[in-house]
């Protein structure tokens, strides 16, 4: 039952219950007053006495139930005697000592007779051998002021009962409503306390169909979203710490080398021009390594935050062909032959991302090649609802148990991470970020070498067009 329904019924009961109580109390009080005064009833005059006596006699002659006649006589405070051949055969009610005087006086008159003396009356009906006598007190000056006092007292008592009934009903109905609201608020407060104490798995189990049900459902949704947000923040914090740790480690090595060789030259440790040139070449090479690392770090960050508004829809097949063609000579000199088989696919994508995608995969293939001239096959297949971009080299591949880890930032198959010239561990992480930016997913497998497959959802286009990145 909703709170609105409870309020409606409480208003109804607030009127009905006190009314019923007042009616019952009024009936009982009036009945008591009536009984009290009729129990000491007295007739007003001789006419009333004669009338009621005649009714009693006629009832007896009509053979009515004697118990009914007894109750009527008692109600009227009358005594009754029935005589047969002068002998009393039935008697009810209370007689007074003065009644004997009335009997003797009535005996002096033939037939039916009614006598009243000193507020006491007798009625005699003679029918053959049967004689019926009735006696009653006649008080023409009877005082009814006492009844008025009792009626006034009864009225005051009814008012008191009304007040008590209203207060009691109001207290009960208020509890009927407030307790339900207080219980629901207590449930919500307990949920808030659980969340504030860090229990993000707590959910409110609320089944009552009232106004608090949608509130509790929204609370559970909020708790779920809060848990996701906090878990996401924790994951981002872990990734940030890992990124800082990787940066610190990978930058420290070339910087240390540059510092050591520079100090050697400054301190004059190396005298020969050949040695000095070797030191300078080493410093230059370490500086190039450091520059390449910083470039990849910037690329990694940029590929993760580039917004869709910065991209234009273009044929990525043409972008790939141009990147391969522009760097064909460089790849050949470094021992890599690149072959392409591309279908036209249009995406909202900046050419910078495609360049970094090709560059990082090509560098990875060159870094781990096992022959003098390695091969990298690039294919792009348009399947209507999705596009599949595949990179396959003929290198040594990756152990199966490590395939899922190669896209993590700063992950290297060489766990010692002591040789920055073998890579920073960011190349394939950049590839994964770019794939997500294109609205796709990235996975790797072994197929006579390492095979990287990027599947792009063409119906969604890019995630930047459909949701905030």
Among 88-92, 223-227, 253-257, the least confident range = 253-257
pLDDT for 303 beyond 80: no
pTM of the full structure: 0.43
pLDDT for position 312: 62
Q: In the structure, what pLDDT confidence band is assigned to residue 337 with cuts at 50, 70 and 90? A: very high
Is the pLDDT at 211 greater than 50, yes or no?
yes
According to CATH, what is the number of the domain 46-137? Answer: 3.30.450
CA dist 111 and 136 (Å) reads 20
Contact assessment for residue 78 and residue 93, using Cβ atoms and an 8 Å cutoff = yes
Question: What is the rounded CA–CA span in Å between residue 450 and residue 362?
Answer: 12
Interval 412-423 mean pLDDT: 47
């229990």: which residue's tokens? 199
- pLDDT of 420 strictly over 50: no
Determine the CATH number of domain 308-469.
3.30.565.10
What confidence tier does 343 reach under pLDDT thresholds 50, 70, 90? very high
With beta carbons less than 8 A apart as the criterion, state whether 71 and 65 touch. Answer: no
When the pLDDT of each residue in the chain is averaged and rounded to a whole number, the result is 79
Burial code (b: 16+ CB inside 10 Å, e: under 16) for 322-361 equals: ebbeebeeebeebebebebebeebebbbbbbbbbbbbbbb
CA–CA distance, 253 with 251 (Å, rounded to integer): 6
Please write the tens of the pLDDT for every residue from 360-409: 898 888 888 888 899 999 999 999 889 999 999 998 888 888 888 888 77
Per-residue b or e along 102-137, where b marks 16 or more CB atoms closer than 10 Å to that residue's CB: beeebeeeeebebbbeeebbbbbbbeeeebbbbbbb
Q: Residue 9: helix, strand or coil by DSSP? A: helix
CA angle 44, 47, 53 (to 5 degrees): 95
- pLDDT tens, residue by residue, 99-135: 888 888 888 888 888 888 878 888 999 888 888 899 9
pLDDT band at 416 (very low <50, low <70, confident <90, very high): very low
The first and second tokens of residue 289, run together, are: 């390594």
pLDDT of residue 390: 95
Residue 452 confidence (pLDDT) = 93
3-class DSSP state for residue 10? helix
Q: What are phi and psi of 11, to 5 degrees?
A: -65, -40
User: What tokens were used for 340?
Assistant: 């392409």
Structural domain spans, the chain: 3-39+144-189, 46-137, 308-469
- Name the helix (H) or strand (E) containing 215: helix 212-266
Q: What is the pLDDT of residues 135-171, one digit of tens each?
A: 988 765 555 555 677 778 878 888 888 888 888 888 8
């Amino acid at each position: 039952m909703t709170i609105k329904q409870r309020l409606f019924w409480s208003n109804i009961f607030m009127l009905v219950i006190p009314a019923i109580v007042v009616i019952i109390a009024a009936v009982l009080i009036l009945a008591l007053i009536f009984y009290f005064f009729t129990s000491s009833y007295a007739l007003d005059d001789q006419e009333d006495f004669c009338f009621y006596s005649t009714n009693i006699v006629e009832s007896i002659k009509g053979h009515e139930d004697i118990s009914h006649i007894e109750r009527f006589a008692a109600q009227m405070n009358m005594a009754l005697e029935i005589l047969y051949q002068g002998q009393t055969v039935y008697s009810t009610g209370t007689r007074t000592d003065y009644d004997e005087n009335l009997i003797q006086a009535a005996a002096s008159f033939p037939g039916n007779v009614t006598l009243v003396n000193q507020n006491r009356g007798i009625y005699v009906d003679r029918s053959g051998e049967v004689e019926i006598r009735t006696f009653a007190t006649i008080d023409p000056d009877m005082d009814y002021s006492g009844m008025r006092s009792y009626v006034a007292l009864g009225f005051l008592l009814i008012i008191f009962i009304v007040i008590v009934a209203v207060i009691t009903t109001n207290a009960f109905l208020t509890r009927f409503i407030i307790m339900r609201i207080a219980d629901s608020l207590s449930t919500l407060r307990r949920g808030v306390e659980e969340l504030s104490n860090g229990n993000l798995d707590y959910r409110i189990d609320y089944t009552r169909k009232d106004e608090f049900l949608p509130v509790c459902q929204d609370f559970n949704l909020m708790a779920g979203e809060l848990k996701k947000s906090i878990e996401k923040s924790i994951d981002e914090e872990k990734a940030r710490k890992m990124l800082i740790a990787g940066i610190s480690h990978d930058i420290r090595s070339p910087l240390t080398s540059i510092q050591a060789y520079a100090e050697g030259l400054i301190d004059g440790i190396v005298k020969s021009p050949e040695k000095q040139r070797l030191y300078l070449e080493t410093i230059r090479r370490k500086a190039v390594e450091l520059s390449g690392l910083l470039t990849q770090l910037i690329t990694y960050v940029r590929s993760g935050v580039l917004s869709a508004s910065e991209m234009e829809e273009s044929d990525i097949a043409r972008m790939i062909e141009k990147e391969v063609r522009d760097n064909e000579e460089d790849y050949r000199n470094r021992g890599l032959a690149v072959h392409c088989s591309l279908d036209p696919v249009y995406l909202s994508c900046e050419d910078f991302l495609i360049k970094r995608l090709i560059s990082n995969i090509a560098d990875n293939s060159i870094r781990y090649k096992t022959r003098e001239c390695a091969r990298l096959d690039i294919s792009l297949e348009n399947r209507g609802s999705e596009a599949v971009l595949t990179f396959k080299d003929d290198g040594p591949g990756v152990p199966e148990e490590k395939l899922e880890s190669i896209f993590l930032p700063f992950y290297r198959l060489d766990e010692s991470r002591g040789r920055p010239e073998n890579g920073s561990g960011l190349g394939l992480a950049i590839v994964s970020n770019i794939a997500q930016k294109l609205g796709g997913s990235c996975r790797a497998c072994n197929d006579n070498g390492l095979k990287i497959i990027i599947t792009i959802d063409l119906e969604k286009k890019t995630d930047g067009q459909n949701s905030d990145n």
